[in-house]
Amino acid sequence: MTFGELLLRLHEQGLGPVLCGEPPSAQATCAALLAGRHPEPLLGELLSTAALWCRISGPDSEVDRAAVVNALGPLRRRYQADDAPAEGLRALGTLIEAIDAAYDAAALAPPPCPPTTPVH
């Protein structure tokens, strides 16, 4: 799956305002994440961390489930600290569940139909 496809799937799941830009797009969101300018601070931090650790250069960069989830490991440790706000850990858990759901849905989707040849 590409990072852009993942962003679209996360947005469609209602995770929050994943996509940004006017109009909202995976391209604008990738640019904002890589520049650290996503309009949602917590979600932006989570997605920016995943993008940077996975060496995402744009929405067409391929990324697999394990890489994205593993990229969030350092944030998990930070959010599990005694003095960390619970909001961060909850948001991280929700994001990981959404990432799993996105990859599960992609794996279960029927393959695209091959193009048909018109009969003359």
pTM as predicted: 0.85
pLDDT at residue number 118: 66
Tokens at 13, concatenated: 């799941």
Q: What residue ranges of the chain have pLDDT lower than 50? A: none
What's the rounded Cα separation, in Å, for the pair 87 and 40? 13
**Interatomic CA distance for residues 36 and 120, integer angstroms:** 55
Chain segment 69-83, per-residue pLDDT in tens: 999 988 888 888 878
Reference 92, options 49, 29, 37; nearest CA is: 49
Residue 58 lies in a domain: yes
Instruction: Tell me, yes or no, whether 108 lies in a domain.
Output: no
pLDDT of residue 117: 67
The range of the structural domain enclosing residue 12 comes to 3-103
Domain-embedded: residue 109: no
In a domain, 118, yes or no: no
Is residue 120 in some structural domain? no
Number of domains in the chain: 1
Is 28 part of a structural domain of the chain? yes
Q: Do the beta carbons of residue 104 and residue 25 sit within 8 Å? A: no
What does each C-alpha distance from 58 to 15, 32, 45 come to in angstroms?
A: 21, 10, 17
Domain assignment present for residue 110? The answer is no
